[in-house]
Chain A
């Protein structure tokens, strides 16, 4: 049998992903302490860490946006409804009976349609919701200067920020689990660490394929 490998996650992409993963988990950890869910670092430190991590993530996002725009990789996130039903059916039934994965990874389409939708949702909804509310939260003292005093309330900014955090937490849980739902349970994880995804020989039509004897 022959196994082929395609290089789907480039070095920056992998760095972006893991740095972002670490930062988001740390932000959840410190954020829910600030929120009052538990005591870990102490309120004062939790706020300080949360703020530093948030600004770091902003920096990372600036780089990531630049990278996506200049490499054209942003197209990976253009949503499609094609095969969404197949993906849902696969997760609901096929996966239990060892049915073949309905999606073929290529370097041009490295995310399955459900991933596209989910990641786009994270980037276009949960992300901005977190950023915008976090921004107002941090710059609370500037509201009067911005004229935002009249219509913003810290209470609702905090609620929306918290809601965004819960959405991110739900995403994180499902995302971590679905790592195991690739062609093999470790395939996705391996790909995000090494950059290489193994595909079966007959699926290797697209570019960037390296053949390897088994």
Chain B
């Protein structure tokens, strides 16, 4: 609601502004007035005036071909990125990561679910494991460079936008109109919170589900929600911090920068630093008035104080997803769906039980930027505890860690109880084995693991898992930052953090006992001494 209102106001402002510019330009170019449109100041190229784009486009790849006529290197730059490959080899651990291989504890895996998951692939046509990753025309330029807000990639279309009227999902009565590719292509521009957000706000299958600090409320946030992205203030886009060259967006969650000691970046620096850290703009001693707070920065990530809570924009995030309860049917025999008092789904027969929450206080942990994943092929040593889908590195003494805020998403998900490994169920799709259609785990897992080329014993059970998501967005203004006493207390936010002396939280019990005893003895001594003097005085 709020976001919509903001967007409306913004549009009005922008239209008003354009009007004023239009009038001004009209006056300035009086002599040969008429045909010249007002000068655009946000770009040097008005794509609407390019002959190549003044035509109808039947599909996304057709648009890309037109883009590549001028932007000859663009597609092959995109080919080098995680956004295209969905693959990333962690240089620290050697683990092969990326959406192509990872599991999480939301929708679990893309395996055998490609047409749905690849709605968020920066490409066209990834419908099975044989997708051609060398195709240039299958790079999707528009999903990142759209400025109209009309460009949508529907789940189920393998990354294509709707090219004809469709009912999605089938039988829902929800008619999706085809995208006017000509209009979208002519209005391409820089990326925005909306283009990045089209996928990153909706990770995990819905608005705000996955990250906790990324949801549609950041489309046009106010200042209390995010001091940088404040739509009527600093109005940062994602790329303001994730400053990109060659289409390779820095600031990856696979290898986060947990500690940046290098201070603000200046022009001419050639080292390959992550430009998305707080320090890359603010330096390492950003607190001018309260210098004591700079001392805190040695042990504490900026985010820990400056992101007091996640999911603050009115969109709940999913804290827990328990797949083990999926498959229940109602009295009518239909798959059961349960909603909370606000009408939000908290049980879905296709997915299981959810816990959703807003304004959630993060959990805190020492973090050095190292993340190790439990991959599908990894043997689970035991399944009576909680499996870390990812495990974060960090300790108070390694000199590389700071205390970071995390969203920890918890849940239970299927595993192969004979081979003892996580599995990748085939959930989405109109196929004979899709779980969401038939609610049969064994078949769904079989299909998913087959796609992976991994064995499935046929026996499965559910194991509890947790996954750590470091928080970096929804940065509050300083007045709303976490107050001192919220950590400096016995039962505060950092009550479980070890390895650091926290005044007011920590004290040595033996020292307190010794100190107070000494004070009490002194008091008792002087009272006795004084009392005796008084008694003797009376007698005299």
Given A35-B507, A36-B507, A96-B533, decide whether A173 and B484 contact each other with a Cβ distance below 8 A. Answer: no
Residues of B within 8 A of A135 (CB): none
Verify A141–B295 contact, CB threshold 8 A.
yes
Q: Which of B491-540 contact A (CB under 8 A)?
A: 500-501, 503-508, 511-512, 514-516, 518-519, 522-523, 525-526, 529-530, 532-533, 536-537, 540
Q: Is the CB of A43 within 8 A of B504?
A: yes
Interface residues on A, range: 35 or more
B residues 422-468 near A (Cβ < 8 Å) are none
In contact, B503 and A141 (Cβ under 8 angstroms): no
Could you say which residues of chain B place their CB within 8 Å of the CB of A159? 508, 511
A194 contacts chain B at the CB level, 8 A cutoff: no
For the complex, give the distance between the alpha carbons of A146 and B514 in Å: 32
- Digitize A69-105: 1 where CB-to-B-CB distance is under 8 Å, 0 elsewhere: 0000000000000000000000100011110000000
Given A44-B483, A96-B536, residue A35 in contact with residue B294 (CB < 8 A): no
A166 touches B519 (CB 8 A): yes
Is residue B247 within 8 Å, beta carbon to beta carbon, of the partner chain? no
Taking CB atoms and an 8 Å cut-off, the chain A residues in 162-214 that contact chain B are: 162-163, 165-167, 169-170, 173-174, 176-178, 180
The residues of A that contact B532 with a CB separation of less than 8 Å are: 96
- Report B-chain residues with C-beta under 8 Å of the C-beta of A153: 501
Provide the bound-state CA to CA distance between A173 and B528, in Å.
Answer: 13
Please state if A154 and B504 are interface contacts (CB–CB under 8 Å): no
| Residues of chain A contacted by B530 (CB below 8 angstroms) | 177, 180
- Residues of chain A from 12 to 44 with CB closer than 8 A to chain B in the complex: 34-37, 42-44
Q: Which residue of the partner chain, among A42, A138, A140, A178, contacts B485 with CB atoms under 8 Å?
A: A42
B484, B488, B504, B526: the one contacting A174 at CB < 8 Å is B526
Q: Please tell me if the beta carbons of A140 and B295 are within 8 angstroms of each other in the complex.
A: yes
Query: How far, in Å, is B331 (CB) from chain A's closest CB?
Result: 55
The answer for the CA separation of A159 and B537 in the assembled complex, in Å, is: 43
A169, B526: Cβ atoms closer than 8 Å: no
Contact A155–B501 (Cβ < 8 Å): yes
Contact A166 B294 (CB under 8 A): no
Which listed residue (B292, B490, B529, B536) contacts A177, Cβ 8 A? B529
In the bound complex, residues from chain B placing their C-beta under 8 Å from that of A36 are 489-490, 503-505, 507
Which of chain B's residues has its CB closest to A42's CB?
A: B485
Interchain CB contact under 8 A, A97 and B485: no
Interface residue? B65 (CB, 8 A): no
Contacts of A155 in B (CB 8 A): 501, 506
How distant is the Cα of A44 from the Cα of B511 in the complex, in angstroms? 24
Report yes or no: A34 in contact with B485, Cβ–Cβ below 8 A: no
Expressed in whole angstroms, the Cα–Cα distance for A56 and B537 within the complex equals 42
Contacts of B505 in A (CB 8 A): 36
A34 neighbours in B (Cβ, 8 Å): 503-504
Question: Contacts A36-B505, A96-B536 known; A43 to B488 CB distance under 8 Å?
Answer: yes
Question: Is the C-beta of B298 less than 8 angstroms from some C-beta in chain A?
Answer: yes
In the bound complex, how far is the Cα of B47 from the Cα of A191, in angstroms? 92
B298 touches A141 (CB 8 A): yes
Q: Check A144–B298 contact: CB distance below 8 A.
A: yes
| In the bound complex, CA of A154 to CA of B526 (Å) | 35
Of all chain A residues, which has the CB nearest B285? A141
Contacts of B529 in A (CB 8 A): 91, 177
For this complex, 10 residue pairs linking A to B, each with C-beta atoms less than 8 Å apart, are A34-B504, A36-B489, A36-B504, A36-B505, A42-B485, A91-B529, A138-B292, A162-B511, A163-B511, A174-B525
